[in-house]
Amino acid sequence: MTEGVAEGVKEENMLDKTNRVNLLFAFYEPLLTEKQQTFLKCYFHDDFSLGEIAAEFNISRQAVYEHIKRAEQVLENYEVKLGLVRKYEMRHTYMEQLSEVLKYIPLEHQEEARVTLENLQNMDA
């Protein structure tokens, strides 16, 4: 693999990881400690570097790294136990499929089906 391709893959993996953590955070934020919430927000939402966070909180970069890694593990553990993100993603997949099937429902039932689909979509709002 060339260096440019390797960098592209690395950036894509980091983006995937950031998206994953942000999604987990959206579901499980209230279950984290205040410190875990703060460090994850700074690192993943605000795009602060470890050094910037360390300077802000007067701790070492290593301590920041460990707090963030531990918080990520906690989020993943909640997901394993509760599965809220998995269920959310499945629900959206099913709603997309239902939206496609809606085209083939007889006209007299389309409005009722459309309202049901909208109700499902609004559950996540």
Q: Could you tell me the CATH number of the domain that includes residue 37? A: 1.10.10.10
76 in the same domain as 116: no
Please answer whether residues 45 and 21 qualify as being in contact, where contact means their C-beta atoms are separated by less than 8 angstroms.
no
17 in the same domain as 74: yes
Instruction: Please state, rounded to an integer, the average pLDDT across all residues of the chain.
Output: 89
Report residue 6's pLDDT band, with 50, 70 and 90 as the boundaries: low
Task: For residue 61, give the nearest of 89, 42, 34, 80 by alpha carbon.
Answer: 42
Over residues 66-116, the pLDDT tens digits come to 999 999 999 999 999 999 999 999 988 988 888 888 888 888 888 888 888
107 in the same domain as 52: no
63 in the same domain as 32: yes
pTM, full prediction: 0.76
Over residues 30-46, the pLDDT tens digits come to 999 999 999 999 999 99
105 in the same domain as 92: yes
The CA distance from 113 to 120, in Å, is 11
43 in the same domain as 11: yes
**Enclosing domain of residue 34:** 1-82
How many domains does the structure of the chain reveal? 2
Between these two residues, 4 and 63, which has the higher pLDDT value?
63
107 in the same domain as 125: yes
